Structure formats: structure tokens, C-alpha cells
Amino acid sequence: MNRVCLIFLVGMPAAGKTYWGEQIATAYDLAFVDLDTYISQQENASIPALFAQYGEHGFREREHKYLKKAIKDADGVTIVACGGGTPFFYDNMSIMKEAGRVVYLQAETRHLIHNLNDCADTRPLLKGKGDLATYLDDMLQKRRQAYEQAHYILQTKDISLTTFAEIISSCTDRP
């Protein structure tokens, strides 16, 4: 059986967690789970629909449940792109740290806004926010302390695929 270790990518909405997760998984031939996609598949509903139906609290309950399920179902080294809020609810950050390595993709607000382009309205917590830069800055201030508990903090502007070689190695070599 393969050694199970997960590498969780956390960070603000649009920091590049899904993008880098897919890139890393492809380059290193690893499994990849996008937690939001996983939740959508399990619930047979989109993330915006789940927020609309259950509110943020109900969504976070489901997110917690499926995070634990994704960890349980993992086989080998797996890259997991988490939702931007995943580390802040329940004991998700502790669960992730115990299951593997947590990597905070730290991004500047202008980078987030650039990545969001015209899709901010498809993200439930960003929908209808007038001054997106101020909203994201405020969100980051609230979330920073939790994000910074990660094993690794990487500046998104400096990331390359080789950046992750050491992290993958630390995951597979862990006691």
C-alpha cells in the first residue's frame, strides 16, 4: 500500500490553489482533489447552490465532513486544493496539519483581483461586493493568523513547480 500523505493548499479566494494543485499533481504524477469540486460531486449541487440552500454555516458543516472523508479516502500522496475558508471552521486546520503538510499560497490583493476577473459574482462570499479590494483586504486580515499556521508559506508570485519538490519530499519522508 502507498504511504498516505496529503498536501493541502490554502489561501485566499483566487490565490491559485486549484491551478497549482492541478499543475503539481500532473508534474509529479500525484492524485489531486479540489475540495469544492469534491463537495459539489458528493452533494450533487454547486457551491453557490449549497450556500443558497444551507447558508454559510450549513455549507461549512458539509465542508468539514467532506474534508475528513477526502482524507480518509486518500491513497498515496494527494494534493488537496481547499476552499479559501476551509482552515477557519471547526478544527479543519488541525485535521489538515495532522494528515500531512499545509501550504499557504500567499497572494497580494491585486493578484487576487486579477485572477478573479469577472468571476467574483460566482463565488458566494464575494458576490455583490462593491469595493472588492477593500473586502478582500478585510477578509485577509481576519484570516491571516489561521493561514500563517501552515507548515509552508509561499508567495504566489515566486512559485514554480520545483518549489514543491521539497514539500512533496517532506510529506513522503515524514515519520
Residue 138 lies in a domain: yes
Q: What is the CATH number of the domain that holds 18?
A: 3.40.50.300
Residue 9 belongs to what domain range?
Answer: 5-162
Residue 171 lies in a domain: no
Residues with Cβ < 8 Å from 20, sequence gap 6 or more?
Answer: 9, 81, 105, 159, 164
Residue 151 lies in a domain: yes
Longest Cα–Cα distance of the chain, Å, equals 51
* pTM of the model as a whole: 0.91
Residue 72 lies in a domain: yes
pLDDT by residue, tens only, the chain of 175 residues: 356 789 999 999 989 999 999 999 999 999 999 999 999 999 999 999 999 999 999 999 999 999 999 999 998 899 999 999 999 999 999 999 999 999 999 999 988 888 887 565 556 666 666 778 888 899 899 999 999 999 999 999 899 999 899 899 888 665 5
Residue 130 lies in a domain: yes
List, in sequence order, every residue forming a beta bridge with 34; answer none if it has no partner: 81
The grid cell for 108 is: 497580494
Helix (H) or strand (E) holding 144: helix 132-147
Structural domain count, the chain = 1
Residue 142 lies in a domain: yes
